[in-house]
Amino acid sequence: MARSEFRWWFGSQVLSASGTITQSVAVSWLVLRLNSNAIFLALVTVCTMAPLIPLGPWAGSLVDHVDRRRLLMLTQTLLAALSLLLGVLTATGAIQLWSLFAISLATGAVSAVDGPARQVFVRDLVGGAGVASAVSLNEVVINVSRVLGPAVGGVLLSTVGVTWGFVANALSFVAPLIVLRQTATRSDRIDRPAREPGAIRAGLRYVRGQPAILACVLLAAATGMLFDLGVALPLLATTVWHLGGAGFGSLMAAFGIGALPGAGMAAATTWPTGRRVRVLAVATGLSAILVGYAPHPIVAYAGMIIAGFASIWFIAMANTLVQVESAPAMRGRVMGVWTMALPGMLPVTSLVAAGITEGLGPRTGFAASGVPLLLTVAAGWRALGRHRSSEDRSALTS
């Protein structure tokens, strides 16, 4: 973190991501308070994630053609306003399920733009040479927020009420907005490509025409079933190993224990290679199968640690490879497609995982989360194998 602007941005993202997780805890609690039917919990997730699929390519094109810093100031302000609106409606007793779904849908639509803008903005901050470490540190942010967010959310729910979970998230956007206002990046100074008809289709064609990038995007989409740990894992913990809620929590914690050093390894990796991506993807897929068919809970804990370690390193490397291989004029559109794949595919993969778990049981349901990843690695094996670290490194400085 050599650049002071990135250090400030990194710190602000820890606060903002933790606020987002805090709000997700509050939303789940609010849904159960309004209607205890679990299907509505899934509908909130669908409303939040579904806009990422149709809007991803368009958002990426927008990111390529506008000032990313100013765009982020707009999206972060809108996200804060939506969180504050939830807080006001909840505090006044006016909140209903339909309004919660509508605000979740709006949040998803704004996030479809915010996601690729943040990813490309990091490159604007650090330049090409620092993108590998920056992407890996972003994984650290995500995993730290997974610890801080639920803790803060639980404290707020038990002390001051669900409303303050939304207020806390709204306040968490203050720090990024301050940093954005004070920061000058390369995107403020470079010439951006002119808007042209068919820009979105051009971005999709570009991804299809770059085998290594396409393979990484498909791998990201294939991880959806694995990262949706709330479907099969609770049933594994309670009905197969009889560990109870505490056991489910400890299995989730085991994933996080592995994820942090995985992010550290990714940050220490100076150059992403296709071969490393495919090895880590295979390790991730096999670890999911190990957990699903573990003969004893201890084996499952070990498998979750391996899954956390390998998956976070793998995603960070795949994300970095996509960014460094993308032409500067296409980078926003490429990251829009990435966002469409992950987390945009989560609603679809969640339904698939639920169907397999319901029909074949939690063991097969969890083990099946590794199968799409392994099949995708097999399909993209040659494309990833041709990408080597001896690539022209001057591309990093573009």
Structure confidence by residue, pLDDT tens digits, 322-342: 988 888 888 888 988 888 888
- Show the tokens assigned to 358: 């319901």
Residue 195 DSSP class:
P
CATH of domain 199-386: 1.20.1250.20
Backbone angles phi, psi at 134, to 5 degrees: -65, -45
Alpha-carbon span 254 to 144, nearest angstrom: 14
Contact 308, 142 (CB under 8 A): no
Q: Is the pTM of this model over 0.75?
A: yes
SS3 161: coil
Higher pLDDT, 203 or 199: 203
- Show the tokens assigned to 160: 């001051």
24 confidence band (pLDDT: 50, 70, 90) = confident
Alpha-carbon span 121 to 333, nearest angstrom: 13
Closest CA to 48 of 107, 102, 89, 98: 107
The two most distant CA atoms of the chain are separated, in Å, by: 61
Backbone angles phi, psi at 345, to 5 degrees: -85, -5
Contact 127, 75 (CB under 8 A): no
Q: What residue ranges do the domains of the chain occupy?
A: 1-184, 199-386
Q: What Å distances lie between residue 303 and 22, 229, 306, 353, CA to CA?
A: 27, 13, 5, 19
306 confidence band (pLDDT: 50, 70, 90) = very high
Alpha-carbon span 292 to 361, nearest angstrom: 10
Higher pLDDT, 90 or 228: 90
Percent of the chain's residues with pLDDT above 70 = 88
Higher pLDDT, 17 or 1: 17
Higher pLDDT, 19 or 137: 19
Contact 362, 232 (CB under 8 A): yes
Q: Mean pLDDT of all residues in the chain?
A: 85
One-letter amino acid of 136: S
- For residue 186, the model assigns a pLDDT of 56
- For residue 394, the model assigns a pLDDT of 44
Alpha-carbon span 19 to 148, nearest angstrom: 9
Look at 33-47, 100-114, 283-297, 347-361 and tell me which has the smallest mean pLDDT: 33-47
- pLDDT over threshold 60, residue 190: no
With respect to CATH, is domain 1-184 assigned 3.20.20.140?
Answer: no
Q: Mutual orientation of helices 297-325 and 244-268 as an angle, nearest 10°?
A: 40
pLDDT digits (tens, 9 = 90+) for 243-264: 876 787 788 778 878 888 888 8
- pLDDT over threshold 60, residue 390: no
pLDDT digits (tens, 9 = 90+) for 63-120: 988 999 999 999 999 999 999 999 999 999 999 999 999 999 999 999 999 999 998 8
Same fold, 1-184 and 199-386: yes
Alpha-carbon span 78 to 87, nearest angstrom: 14
Contact 268, 144 (CB under 8 A): no
- For residue 213, the model assigns a pLDDT of 93
Query: Residues 155-176: what's their mean pLDDT?
Result: 92
**Is residue 49 within a helix (H) or strand (E), and if so which, with residue range?**
helix 39-49
Look at 28-37, 187-196, 357-366 and tell me which has the smallest mean pLDDT: 187-196
Q: How many helices, marked H, and strands, marked E, lie in the chain?
A: 21, 0
Alpha-carbon span 145 to 17, nearest angstrom: 6
Spatial neighbors of 8 by CB under 8 A, at least 6 apart, are 179, 182, 183
